[in-house]
Amino acid sequence: SLAGIENLPCELQRNFQLMRELDQRTEDKKAEIDSLAAAYIESVKSMVPEERVEHLKKIQSAYSKCKEYSDDKVQLAMQTYEMVDKHIRRLDADLARFEADLKDKLEGSDFESPGSRSLKKGRSQKDKRSSRGRGRRTSEEDTPKKKKLKGGSEFADTILSVHPSDVLDMPVDPNEPTYCLCHQVSYGEMIGCDNPDCPIEWFHFACVDLTTKPKGKWFCPRCVQERKKKK
């Protein structure tokens, strides 16, 4: 990905240069059309029908060329957009892997605060989610409140926090896993349901009316209803 990104500025410069050349060709052709139109108006009365038709064909051909240049420019602009979008998606994938590796290292290190509970009651639950094909977690809730480095530094929060509006304003990757009652991608603080058989598992704080992490076990609204029915 890095090698591709290094070449991106050169590719963009080349495409923009081609677009400028197409613009110049269009302007030149428009000037030619103006000249042909002026000549036609000036001498149309003295032209025989065949000459009029020939002159009008030249004007029509010039307009066709203008359209052709414009279509080429649109296609080039679309190709440029897709090229940049491809690199962005590659960066997103690399960032996802980086965040996953970082969280694994934090979970396996001695940086974890003594009071924080393990995610979904340990490795077995994490393996269960992996077997379901769940994607990366971008929330601080993975650790679950906050994992701090020695000295109280909220390093993990700084690296891994994502503002909800930033996520919702971005185009949704069809490969990005969704969670919660709202069926959106992960962002901000999230909480895991303590029911090991919960079909959703992860919820945004706002969607379940939470502003802080509750003490003790927490069950999502669906699992609470199921538990009430069983009683």
Tell me whether residue 10 is annotated as binding. Answer: no
The residue with tokens 């509750």 is 214
Tell me whether residue 204 is annotated as binding. Answer: yes
Distances 214 to 21, 80, 179, 217 between C-alpha atoms, Å: 62, 48, 20, 8
Which region, left, alpha or beta, applies to residue 180 given φ > 0 means left and ψ of -120 to 50 means alpha?
left
Segment 78-84 long-range contacts (CB within 8 Å, at least 24 positions apart): 79/15, 80/12, 80/15, 80/16, 83/8, 83/11, 83/12, 83/15, 84/8, 84/12
Give the whole-angstrom CA distance, residue 153 versus residue 113. Answer: 12
Yes or no: say if 106 and 143 are a contact pair by the CB < 8 Å rule.
yes
Other beta carbons within 10 angstroms of residue 150's beta carbon come to: 7
Tell me whether residue 66 is annotated as binding. Answer: no
Residue set of the binding site for Zn(2+): 180, 182, 193, 198, 204, 207, 220, 223
Residue set of the binding site: 180, 182, 193, 198, 204, 207, 220, 223
